[in-house]
């Protein structure tokens, strides 16, 4: 039976302010650093908004995981000179990737984050060279000590099937971020989900394989069954309506879900209102959404 189920959303849901979010949910996965630099002062404000340790999962900078496109990483994104574009992404053993890891470590420390997340794009295929790159990266660069003992999560996409990715992640001593509601029309991986158990798990629920609609109670129960077979499980919602879905799931997983931040808190947070995502007028402050 699970000791902890940690529930949150992938990005701050639209229209939901900081006080309201962290009153209802204990965890937030942010991809802000994936897209470009975030000032330390902004990270410190985010940490103050959470008010408890381990509240954040931080997605690694794109220069670690993604090769730049024809226009680099876009306006406001990571700056990579054209002549060095071949050094970025795909966990390459380069100074650019090392710089990205150092930036990630600084952000994890500033936020007192609980999880480091490494997303890979569809073009990062299940080739032998990419498997070797993952092995080298997590054994030499993003080690458990370098990440401060935090959970390390690899989130594959594209041609990686869940069983292959989950097996490889286990060999590397990391977690694999998987979607239990992902498309599987032939139920090829039903036995994997039925048997999955262990110490830690990281589930990212998009539900895209089940249609873009409200996540049903039956689906939430399926996710809970998987989560409760682990000692500690993060369940992160990236559905059409992630905030209500996550709150419904947290109630379903109770009493194993981590408690809400202060059940005696007043609606709208300590200031009595639903604070703006950007209280200081800083656009970076609001950019926690996908």
Pick the more confident residue, 244 or 208. Answer: 244
Helix, strand, coil shares, percent, the chain, to 5: 40, 15, 45
The Cα 246–Cα 248 span in angstroms is: 5
Token pair of 111, please?
Answer: 């936020």
What top-level class would CATH report for the domain 4-286? alpha beta
Question: Domain limits of the chain?
Answer: 4-286
Cα Rg of the chain, angstroms:
19
Give per-residue pLDDT as tens, 175-191.
999 999 988 888 899 99
H-run or E-run covering 30: strand 27-30
Tokens coding 279: 């209280």
The rounded percent of the chain whose pLDDT value lies above 90 is 74
What gap in Å lies between CA 40 and CA 52, rounded to an integer? 18
- 248-290 pLDDT, tens per residue? 999 988 766 665 443 333 333 323 233 333 322 333 334 343 3
Q: Per-residue pLDDT tens for 18-61?
A: 889 999 999 999 999 999 999 999 999 999 999 899 999 999 99
Q: pLDDT digit string (tens) for 137-179?
A: 999 999 999 999 999 999 999 999 999 999 999 999 999 999 9
pLDDT at 185: 82
- Provide the pLDDT for residue 213: 61
Q: Is the dihedral of CA 149, 151, 156, 160 positive or negative?
A: positive
pLDDT of residue 3: 67
pLDDT at 217 over 80: yes
User: What integer pLDDT is reported at residue 183 of this predicted model?
Assistant: 82
pLDDT, residue 257, reads 62
Region of poorest pLDDT, from 63-77, 119-133, 137-151, 227-241: 63-77
Q: Using one digit for the tens of pLDDT, what is the confidence trace for 51-98? A: 899 999 999 999 999 999 888 898 889 999 999 999 999 999 999 999
């Amino acid at each position: 039976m699970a000791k902890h189920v940690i529930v949150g959303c992938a990005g701050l849901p639209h229209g939901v302010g900081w006080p309201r979010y962290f009153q209802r949910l204990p965890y937030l996965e942010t991809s802000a650093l994936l897209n470009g630099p975030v000032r330390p002062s902004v990270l410190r404000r985010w940490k103050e908004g959470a008010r408890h340790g381990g509240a954040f999962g931080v997605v690694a900078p794109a220069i670690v995981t993604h090769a730049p496109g024809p226009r680099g990483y876009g306006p406001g994104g990571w700056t990579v000179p054209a002549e060095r574009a071949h050094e970025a992404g795909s966990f390459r053993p380069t100074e650019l990737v090392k710089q990205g890891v150092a930036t990630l470590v600084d952000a994890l420390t500033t936020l007192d984050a609980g999880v480091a997340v490494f997303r890979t794009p569809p073009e990062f295929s299940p080739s032998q060279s990419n498997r070797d790159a993952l092995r080298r990266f997590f054994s030499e660069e993003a080690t458990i000590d370098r990440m401060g003992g935090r959970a390390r999560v690899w989130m594959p996409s594209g041609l990686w099937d869940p069983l292959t990715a989950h097996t490889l992640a286990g060999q590397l001593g990391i977690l694999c971020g998987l979607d239990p509601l992902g498309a599987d029309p032939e139920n090829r991986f039903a036995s994997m989900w039925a048997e999955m158990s262990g110490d830690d798990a990281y589930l990212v629920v998009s539900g895209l394989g089940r249609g873009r609609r409200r996540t049903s109670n039956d689906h939430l129960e399926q996710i809970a069954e998987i989560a409760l077979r682990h000692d500690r499980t993060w369940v992160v919602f990236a559905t059409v309506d992630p905030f209500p879905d996550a709150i419904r799931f947290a109630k379903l997983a109770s009493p194993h879900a981590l408690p809400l931040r202060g059940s005696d808190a007043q609606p709208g947070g300590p200031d009595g209102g639903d604070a703006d995502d950007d209280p200081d007028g800083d656009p970076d402050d609001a950019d926690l959404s996908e």
